[in-house]
Amino acid sequence: MMRSTVAGLVAVAAVTVTDASFAAKTRDYRLEAEMRFLGMNVGRVELEAAANGDTRDQRLAMATTGLVQRLTGFKGELTARSRTGEGAPETLDFRSFTETDRATREVELRYDGAGRVVEVATFKRGEPRGTEVPEAMRDGTMDPLTALAAVRGWLVEVRDDPPAETTLAIFDGRRRYDLHVSLVDRRTAEFASGPTPILEVRLESEPLAGFDDDSDGRRPITVLMSDDDVVVPLVMRTEVMGDLEAALYTKRVCAAPAAEPACREYRY
């Protein structure tokens, strides 16, 4: 469930993303969400992004709560810095840290200015571990958080003319996969907080290297993105353990730039 949720935020594809101009800029934001399973709130998520000159910083923090927290002890944080400008965003560096009651895992990635991976470091329980992703498959990729920025920018470009498709090459230090992104529809969702313009998006990962088996990571994810100048995930759903569904619901979004960021609450 957790891996599916993270894959869906990256968010985070057959058109290549580098063909889009990304001229329209999405806004800085901070998002608070909750994870649900079997009708229960099982975790919390914080996602934020901010421009810093010609680069962009992103952070995703996750933690289970309640009984699930006692059973798994899961928490994690991902950070990324990417170069912005014309064309798709490019990863400069990426770090992730996850912890459960069994182990900790850490990843550090660094790219040069030409999209080449120049440093990969992975650790389990503090001990160095290698990556199963061949060097030939690492260059020309982006990390999961930079992929989310790319998806947001791409949706701004194509939302006037659905359906549309694109594919992103993702490397998170341990796994290499292609993320297939489809804009399915542009419509208004009837949320409990009121009618909300949304972009319905489908995500599906194609595992290429570093996965335990061919089925690992293949669960399709339905995402409802806000159809506004922020363009962030509001609802994410995927099936786990058969036909049981795990979901993420955004509760609050605060958007900038502004001296006093505008915040909106969501109910479903």
pLDDT in tens, 83-105: 987 778 999 999 999 999 889 99
Length in residues, the chain: 268
pTM across the whole model? 0.86
| HSE-CB for 139 with a 13 A CA cutoff | 8
Q: Six-digit token pair at 103? A: 């182990």
Give the span between the Cα atoms of 192 and 197, in whole angstroms: 13
Q: Is the pLDDT of residue 174 over 90?
A: yes
Q: Is the pLDDT of residue 11 over 90?
A: no
Q: What is the mean predicted confidence (pLDDT) over 242-247?
A: 81
Written as one string, the DSSP assignment of 252-266 is: EEEE-SSSS-EEEE-
Q: How confident is the model at residue 217 (pLDDT cuts 50, 70, 90)?
A: low
| pLDDT given for residue 212 in this prediction | 82
| pLDDT given for residue 92 in this prediction | 97
| pLDDT given for residue 4 in this prediction | 40
What are the extents of the domains in the chain? 2-253
pLDDT one-digit tens code per residue, 42-96: 999 999 999 998 999 999 999 999 888 888 889 999 999 999 877 789 999 999 9
Q: What is the mean predicted confidence (pLDDT) over 164-176?
A: 97
Among residues of the chain, what percentage have pLDDT more than 90?
Answer: 71
Q: Is the pLDDT of residue 24 over 80?
A: no
| pLDDT given for residue 18 in this prediction | 35
Q: Which one of 129-138, 216-225, 240-249, 252-261 scores highest in mean pLDDT?
A: 129-138
Q: What is the mean predicted confidence (pLDDT) over 162-172?
A: 97
- Is the bond into 163 cis (omega within 30 degrees of 0)? yes
Q: Is the pLDDT of residue 195 over 50?
A: yes
Give me the residue label for tokens 């806004």.
27
For 65, counting Cβ atoms within 10 Å of its Cβ (0-12 exposed, 13-18 middle, 19+ buried), the class is middle
Q: Is the pLDDT of residue 10 over 70?
A: no
